[in-house]
Every structure is written in C-alpha cells, then in structure tokens.
A and B are shown apart, each in its own frame.
Chain A
C-alpha cells in the first residue's frame, strides 16, 4: 500500500471513531461509562494521528516520544478529575 493509501485508510478509521464517539454520547448508559468510553475513543483517534500522521510510528527517538506522550498523561488526569469530581465535592 502506498503512503497515500495508508493515510486514506487512517482517515476512514478516524471518521468511524468520530461517529462512534458521537453516537456513544446518546447511549442510555451511566455518566461514568459514557465518559470512559468517549475518552477512550478519543485516545485511539489521537493515537492514530500521532503514530501515522505525525510519523511517531517510525520515530525511534526518545525526546520526541517524551513530548508526544504528555497529552495522553494529561487526558488520563482529566478523566480522573471528571470522574472523581462529585466525590471530591462531597
């Protein structure tokens, strides 16, 4: 597969995940489940962009990975704060 084909395939996945995330927000599930599921889908989308569009899949250099991994740590903290928010308030 040429790199053009690969990037088109990644785009199809990104759009499918966008549809899945948007649909998940309307599902009759608990808030906690919805937050976890939607953020998990967002992480996969971000991972695809980082790995393929930003070429991190072929990067072997630690400094770039250190920078690239930071947003994922951040979103994990975000998910924890949103989930724990009600408990922190009580």
Chain B
C-alpha cells in the first residue's frame, strides 16, 4: 500500500523522484555496510580463534535490542499506513513510538558499551572488539540519524498542509528506518549468535 501523497514527479523509470532518490541512497548505504561486514567476515575467517557466542557479548541484551528495533519497524509501518488513511493523529502517535523505541535501542546499546568499557574492552583492545565497536557504532549512528529524521517529519506534521504536500516524507523516512532495521537483522546473528 502506498501513502496518499501529492509527490507526483515521476522519473523516466516510473518511480517518483523522492522514492528513487531514497532507494539510490539506500544502495550506497548497502555498499557502505557491505564493506564493513565484508571486512568483519574476512578478519574473522583469517583468525584461528574467535570468542564463542555469548562468551564476551550478552545475547539476552542483544535479543532485547532486536525486539525493540523490530517493534520500531512495525510502528514505522503503521505510521506509513496512517498516511494512507489520512489520520494525522495516528501518524504522530506512531512516529513518536518509533522515536521512543529507537531511543530505547540506543540506551540499551549505551548500557552494553558501558559494561564493555568497565571490563576494559575498548576499540583497539583486539580485532574482535575493533569489529564489534565499528559495526555497532556505525549502526548506532544510523539509528540516531533515523531518529533525527523522524523528529523532523514529526515536526512537519504540525503544518496544516502536511498530508497534501509532505505526506510522502513518512514513506521515505520509513524506508530508511526499515533499512537500519535490516542491517541489525544481519548484525545480530553475525556478531552475537554465530
């Protein structure tokens, strides 16, 4: 389902320009994380030993964070659906829930970092910790960017002409948020479970 939006500038591909731009941006993000995850896999495969799952990292904490991020994707999808129903109150409600859940994800991640620091694990301690902090750090920055974007869109919903002129922004912001969720769907097993 697509949201009701007046964003009708369709490119020669048949895709609205905003959506095409977002997908191209996401393609560049895929390449960015491909490089990071690729480096992680090559490093991991080239080392004779690697910490066992749950040995140095907390699986329950990471599972909780995955639960939070998956739930935030659901609330984001509900926000996009609410644009189609032209229900501005629900758009705001679900955007706020997404922002709160995203912030909760960062809080849990911050707590996890504080435990690692207390145990003397920092970037540079070992290749494993380099990989862990680099991958989760860059992902965390992307979550923060998603929260800021959603806050901006939430602010725009208070404009009287939001549904007529800016409704498509919820869809675009949602695409980015789901992408951030997708990255974590793969980071969680790669870092914590296998």
Contact = CB atoms under 8 A, between A and B. Distances in A.
A2 B90 CA distance: 15
A53 B189 CA distance: 21
Please tell me the size bucket of the interface on B: 35 or more
B15 interface: yes
A86 to B, nearest CB: 8
B122 interface: no
Interface majority SS (helix, strand, loop, mixed), chain B: helix
A78 B178 contact: no
Contacts of B111: none
Interface string A21-37: 11011000001001100
23 contacts: A4-B78, A7-B77, A11-B73, A14-B70, A14-B73, A14-B74, A18-B67, A22-B59, A34-B194, A42-B186, A42-B189, A46-B185, A46-B186, A49-B73, A54-B178, A64-B23, A70-B27, A75-B186, A77-B38, A78-B38, A81-B41, A82-B44, A89-B48
Interface of B: 1-2, 13-15, 20, 23-24, 26-27, 30, 34, 37-38, 41-42, 44-46, 48, 53-54, 59, 63, 66-67, 70-71, 73-74, 76-78, 81, 84, 174-175, 178-179, 181-182, 185-186, 188-190, 192-194
